[in-house]
Structure 1
Amino acid sequence: MRKLLAITIIYYYICCYSIKPTSAIVQLKSPSTSFLDTPAKFSARINSSGICGALVVADPLDACSSLVNNAFNFNRNIKFALIVRGNCTFLEKVRIAQLAGFDGAILFDDQAHENLISMIGNPKGIWIPAVFVSNEAGETLMKHARGEDGECCIISSLTETSWNVLIISFISLLVIVSVLAVFVSVRVYWRNRNRSRNLVGEKLVELLPCSTFNATHISGYMEKTCAICLQDFKDGDSLKILPCQHKFHANCVGSWLTKWSKSCPVCKYDLKTEVAY
């Protein structure tokens, strides 16, 4: 029970604190437009205040080779590279944009898809943020990219992330509590059932007649061996006699009736039909 509780607590904290933002917002200053995006799994995280800078269309647009329009040639504080999907991996594109001096990368889909995808890769050596937007958003950004300070911002969707964390944590907590409740209920049920069965068995054993084995008075039809432990009776052994007249060691039949069955281990006679308890 303690182990299950410890696992439950650990799982709850993992659910609460391991969730990372799954979406952000790209804002274009002129015209004032916002686009939903998904941050890359391998890139730097976008802080709560977001980041704004100049938007530069990558040359070549797919950024699968060194960029001609190197960011160091732009007299701007922060520069974002706008890159189209395709021809090489997301990680390669972001790494090339980073080597070209850009402070962030906005990648857009090369085709019109309904859902945004997650960009995955090895985060080693990547220190700039990167996000993925739809084809429609990318086309709009490309039309209005002028390379001006503050014209484009990437803002972390903290409100959405907070609600996601809250909802997932609440659902996880409900599941955990439900599992614990079921576990406790089943355990209590079986404990009570076993206790009840043991009390019935103990009552049956108490009501059974008892005798002491004496080899000199044994009849030709009397058992000489306990059918439960398979040991021969010895003089002085305490025996219990069942209503079906089968005899067993008192300890053996006591354990049998309390832990295993309420029937005779030899003939399966049901003791509950004869003994009132």
Structure 2
Amino acid sequence: MFISLISIWLISSISFVFSDIIVRDLHRQFPSYVRIKSVESSFGQDLPSSGLIGFLLRGDPLDGCSHVQKAPTRCSHDPHWFILFKRSPKCSFSQKVLAATKGNYSGAIIFNDRSDRIFGMEGDPNLDSIPAVFIGVTDGEKLLRDYVHQEDLHTYLAIYPDETLHWSIYILLASMPFGICFLLFLMKFLYNHLQRVSSCLPRRALKKLPIIRFNPERDAYDACCICLEDFKTNDRLRVLPCHHAYHTGCIDPWLLNKRGICPQCRTKVFNNGHGEDEDSDTGDMSFIGPSPIVTIANSEAGLLSQLFLRTSHVWSLGNNLRNWRSTDRNASTSQLINGQQNTRSD
């Protein structure tokens, strides 16, 4: 959870976007390409998705804190013009980029004057200025030394927005499993809490359970199975509907905070004072009245047994009737044969 919160804070607090500067040097025998990592400014226009291609000019002055030279005039299909500035405490990034905008440049490149560390340049978000990127001091000095535009050199610069995933996206993806685990843990905790609350006995139902003062001559109880202590005279005992008795200080927290069942026989305790059996892992169950499922099963079994008995009775009646008819037919046949024989003898 802590890592997820830190990741979300980093993603929300750091909003800079990386970009690439591709230098194409054509004045050599074989064209060479140099890739420079940069970061877009948080103000001004964004780099177009197709990028910008053009020539690089050195800022004059290099810090860009005052009026700079104008960019050469270009037509719509001509390469763009970029200007290179050096970071300086004399003026802000916004002032440098605004000076380049007034000089009709298409983009500004500002390099760090202290280290190769790059970061997002902060400024007025409402400033309508050209795109600007920030690079390290080593790359800035290399551009200043080797790739500033000259008449006899043909060196192009292409500035593209970085289409690869930002590192904050990787942090977000890495923190997602922790967030999912936290949500699962929270859901499990809530589920267990609801299960425990639903299975506990309400306090108003607890008050309806009788409390007696133990009398060894009258009561047959021996000991409390929770604290394993023998009952003493005048001890306050809570008697459950299953006729098991406990010390009130032992059974009340169990019923209110653990489960609303008897710890000994696992019988549920209800508001009306009746118990209902509950399955237990130990297999020790006490039944006080059948459950609806058992009742339905018994009723269905009774109907089936009655139907079977009636069917058997009808079947037996049919067999008796067939036997009677067969016997009667045999008797009639015998009488007929005997009569015929007597007639012949006469």
- TM-score under structure 1 length normalisation: 0.63
Whole-Å separation in 2 of the counterparts to 1:243 and 1:188 = 38
Q: CA deviation at 1:150?
A: 7.0
Does the CA contact (< 8 Å) of 1:51 and 1:154 recur in 2? yes
Cα deviation, residue 63, structure 1: 0.7
Which residue of structure 2 lines up, in the alignment, with residue 97 of structure 1?
100
Deviating beyond 6 angstroms after TM superposition, the runs of 4 or more aligned structure 1 residues are none
Matched with 1:244 is 236
Query: Relative to structure 2, which stretch is displaced further, 96-105 or 25-34?
Result: 25-34
Q: Which letter maps to 2:250?
A: D
Take 1:19 and 1:272, find their aligned partners in 2: how far apart are those partners?
55
For residues 133-168 of structure 1, the C-alpha deviation after alignment (integer angstroms, 9 at most, x for no partner) is 11111111112211678711111111243x753x34
> Number of paired residues?
207
Partners of 2:48 and 2:175 lie apart in 1 by: 27
Counterparts of residues 207-226 of structure 1 (less than 5 Å): 207-208=209-210
Aligned partners of 1:263 and 1:56: how far apart in 2? 93
* Separation of aligned partners in 2, 1:102 and 1:263: 90
Structure 2 residue matching 1:158: 3-state secondary structure = coil
What is the percentage of aligned positions where both structures have the same residue? 24
Cα distance change, pair 89–66 in 1 and its aligned pair in 2 (3 A): same
Q: Which residue of 2 aligns with 1:22?
A: 17
For structure 2, list consecutive stretches of 5 or more residues without a partner in the other structure: 1-7, 26-31, 213-233, 239-245, 256-260, 263-346
How far, CA to CA, are the matches of 1:106 and 1:196 in structure 2? 69
Query: Mapping of 1:113-192 within 5 angstroms?
Result: 113-143=115-145, 144-146=147-149, 151-161=156-166, 164-165=168-169, 167-192=170-195
Change (3 A) 1:209 1:244: closer
- Separation in 2 of the partners of 1:100 and 1:154? 19
2: CA distance between counterparts of 1:110 and 1:74? 31
CA contact (8 A) 2:98 2:129 kept: no
**Which residue is equivalent to 1:6?**
none
Out of 110, 116, 121, the position equivalent to 1:107 is 110
Relative CO higher for 1 or 2, CA cutoff 8 Å, sep ≥ 6?
A: 1
Structure 2 counterpart SS, 1:107 = strand
Q: CA RMSD in A?
A: 3.7
Map of 1:250 onto structure 2 = none
Larger Cα Rg: Structure 1 or Structure 2?
2
Q: Provide, for residues 67-124 of structure 1, a one-character-per-residue CA deviation record: whole Å limited to 9, x for no partner.
A: 1x2114577541101111102111100000001111100001122x142122101122
Superposition pairs of residues 74-89 of structure 1, within 5 angstroms: 77-86=79-88, 87-89=90-92
Instruction: Report the alpha carbon displacement of residue 270 of structure 1 after superposing the two structures with TM.
Output: 3.3
Secondary structure of the residue that 2:201 maps to in structure 1?
Answer: helix
2: CA distance, partners of 1:89 / 1:20: 19
Partner of 1:70: 70
The residue type paired with residue 135 of structure 1 is V
- Secondary structure of the corresponding residue to residue 71 of structure 1: coil
